[in-house]
Amino acid sequence: MVFGAGVSKWLALAALMALLWVARGVLPPFIIAGIFAYILSPLVDELAVRSGVRRPLIALAVFAVVLVVFLGLLWIAGARLNAELRAIAREGPSIIGSVVDRLTGGQSIDLLGQSTTSAELGRRLDIALRDALGTPSQAIEAIRAAFDLTLAVVLVFLGLVYFLIDGHNFWVWLLRFVPREHRNHVDGLAVEIHHVLGRYLRGQLVLIILMSTVTFCLLEWAFRLPYALWIGILTGILEVIPLIGPITAGVIACTVGFSQGGPTEAAALAIMYVILRQVEDQLVMPIIVGRAVHVHPLVTIFAVLTGERIAGILGMILAVPIAAAIKVVLDHAYPKPMPTIVRPAEGIVTPAPEVIVR
């Protein structure tokens, strides 16, 4: 009977995983809310302990602060972000045309057997873009996208408040599906994973804010680059996608810089992004994240590409922490063999002292 009960609980857990997989299309807002709640929960716990106030009230207070900050940032930067987005939609083809013109020196381009100038190429792109955006189907899609985005934001904040209040009970509930004889083992492993993921996610949030702010300041005041706010925010967000994200952000900034100031400005922007990346890797990351997440670069690339195939952008963002969690499980299940010291004179083999690398 005990064996049967254990099997039934594992089957129930497998059924839950299958249900989540089927419903994966609606999960992103809840996952994002869960990530923010996971980051903020230690703060809620600390404030509840220090103040002696009930945890749900502290959770509501922290949520209110987050909501006020979000609305404040939206009010302060929303107008500029909207203006820059409209400018990008309006001037995007001219940027491409300017880049092509500078690359070709104003010479005609052979495109699909037809000769065209960079100005004509930009004009065609502009017409194609306006025609595409002006069709009724595209208008309907734009309205639907706006509705989906609004609904997703509401779900994120709704999920955040519930996760902050009751999220600490979620693991207790989930542990019920694990057979009793394995609960202590699984719970201990979860503590190790919690240490890795907690430090990684909090570090990534700090990096997003830091890189967005620094990049925007440099693009705005040092380079006077158009769309500096959008590019700065995009740079910070793309930092969470290893390898691919920073390169993509740099290419976008260099393209806009090339259209504005030519090769000299594009090269200066490329140097700036390389320097920022090196400062982040050598100074900021070791301090903020440390060695809590140490995954081989090839595994990181594989995880990111696999995550993109499975869940798109969200999968790319979650790929590294999931890979790190899997690494913790594998290291726990298959620990590294302890090195040995051989004493030839005595023929004795003794375990070497454990070396801890920090």
Q: Are 237 and 75 in contact (CB under 8 A)?
A: no
pLDDT at 235: 94
Which residues in the chain come in under a pLDDT of 50?
Answer: 1-2, 133-136, 139, 352-358
pLDDT at 111: 59
pLDDT at 343: 53
Q: Are 231 and 219 in contact (CB under 8 A)?
A: yes
- Which tokens in the block code for residue 67? 């909501």
Torsion region of 200: left, alpha or beta (phi above 0 gives left; psi -120 to 50 gives alpha): alpha
pLDDT at 214: 95
pLDDT at 355: 39
Rg (CA), the chain: 26
So where are the chain's domains? Answer: 1-175, 179-334
The rounded distance, in Å, linking the Cα atoms of 300 and 241 is 10
Q: What is the pLDDT of residues 251-261, one digit of tens each?
A: 999 989 998 88
- pTM attached to this predicted model: 0.75
Q: What is the pLDDT of residues 66-87, one digit of tens each?
A: 999 999 988 988 888 888 888 8
